[in-house]
Amino acid sequence: MKRTRIAMTLALAAAAAFALASCGTAAPAAAPPPQADPVSDFIRETRRGAPENALLGIGTSTHANRAMARSTAEIRARAEIVRQLDVVVRNMVTDYMAGSEAEPEALLSFQESVTQSIAASQLRGAIVRDEINVGGEQVTIVMLSSDNVANEIMTAHQSAAALAPHANAAMWALDRMERALAEQNGLPPVLRDHD
């Protein structure tokens, strides 16, 4: 009988210990440390080191052939710069139209002509600022300095000046261009991963 009491007491003690252990609040498992994103870090560092008012185009490619991936990523980065130049020109025309007495149709025609010239441009002065290949993804950043941006826009507008001569001098004021570039650079970067 003594043995039965001892066995029963031990069984009750074990059950009580088990109940207490299972009812207690266990500390939640620690979340794994966040994984570093090398592509985002690379883009952030390149943007930080870029000159003021320079346009950066970011292109990516996952082509299996390394040379083809580099070429495709650079072409996409250049296409992104052309898109940004188009936005800058559109903003400048809109800004000029707001305070001008010129005919809006002539200015819009002027804008389209400049935009087409920019789209066909070779982006003289654009350079590959940096590139990286992470896990088979080629990321290339092409930079066009603010001086070269001004040259591209001025070259493109020269052929369009006949469409709206009154827009020629006033619209392309340096302060208006710098304001448009600063506004464009304030936007988050766009990763161009398609054509």
27-46, pLDDT tens digit by residue? 555 555 566 788 889 888 98
* 91 vs 80: which has the higher pLDDT: 80
Task: State if pTM tops 0.95.
Answer: no
Cα–Cα distance for residue pair 100/190, rounded to 1 Å: 32
Cα–Cα distance for residue pair 76/74, rounded to 1 Å: 5
pLDDT at residue 130 in the model: 93
Of the candidates 138, 59, 122, the one whose C-alpha atom is nearest the C-alpha of residue 85 is 122
pLDDT at 143 over 90: yes
Give CA 120 to chain center in angstroms: 22
pLDDT at residue 62 in the model: 95
Residue 6: exposure state from Cβ atoms within 10 A (0-12, 13-18, ≥19): exposed
Q: For residue 161, what is the DSSP state?
A: T
